[in-house]
Chains A and B, each alone.
Chain A
Amino acid sequence: AQTVTQSQPEMSVQEAETVTLSCTYDTSENNYYLFWYKQPPSRQMILVIRQEAYKQQNATENRFSVNFQKAAKSFSLKISDSQLGDTAMYFCAFMKPYNNNDMRFGAGTRLTVKP
């Protein structure tokens, strides 16, 4: 079974600075999908960014970007110009293609952005 590990239970960053959240995963698959979800204090989880394993180019969504290292099975999230609204739990998730119900989540990293 695939496992997803987020080794940083909590992190903090000053407003306007850059922070990187780590995620590693374990799989024998060659093709798969990776996601970062954000859960703010309002609790509603929203998709931040996603990456297909066969694409070498790292995904970017505005201030959010990933560093995808396939050989190392690493999928870190970089948040640039951190804002107070980025304060949230962040979950890394792994999914195999053609699997209709199996998305594996990491334990989460609680990020606090300080003014």
Chain B
Amino acid sequence: DVKVTQSSRYLVKRTGEKVFLECVQDMDHENMFWYRQDPGLGLRLIYFSYDVKMKEKGDIPEGYSVSREKKERFSLILESASTNQTSMYLCASSLGWGLSYNSPLHFGNGTRLTVT
């Protein structure tokens, strides 16, 4: 089974801090994603990467950046955390280039981030 591991289940950070959310997958998937999950809004794509050092902006990239130095690892960075970034963050991966019907998303367990 594919395993997507997010390094922290819960995080509490202060406004203005630089925050790193780490995600590792163990199935050699090309694609990795960061989503943000908020009540009433579902999941929204922050960033997407289809290869090492490659990244694309999703719907809500403002205030975030990403890093993919190795194929298995995709990091989400909050350059200066703000209270409106308090949310659940989900990492996902999939096989192949881009999303496809036959290669569904595999998700991690999520990181619940609170910014105070």
Binding site for B on A (CB under 8 A): 4, 9, 33, 35, 37, 42-47, 50, 52, 91, 95, 97, 99-103, 105-108
14 A-B contacts, Cβ less than 8 Å apart? A33-B101, A35-B104, A43-B110, A45-B92, A45-B107, A95-B101, A97-B100, A101-B33, A101-B58, A105-B42, A105-B43, A106-B42, A107-B40, A107-B42
Assess the B42–A108 pair: CB atoms within 8 A: yes
Binding site for A on B (CB under 8 A): 33, 39-45, 48, 50, 56, 58, 88, 90, 92, 97-101, 104-105, 107-110
Known contacts A37-B105, A47-B104, A91-B42; 11 further A-B pairs (Cβ under 8 A): A9-B40, A35-B104, A43-B110, A47-B105, A50-B104, A52-B101, A91-B43, A99-B98, A100-B98, A105-B43, A105-B44
Query: Closest CB-CB distance, B64 to chain A, in whole Å?
Result: 15
Given A91-B43, A107-B41, the answer on whether A102 and B99 have CB atoms closer than 8 Å is yes
How many Å lie between the Cα of A45 and that of B105 in the bound state? 9
Q: Which of the residues A4, A45, A103 comes within 8 Å of B99, measured between beta carbons? A: A103
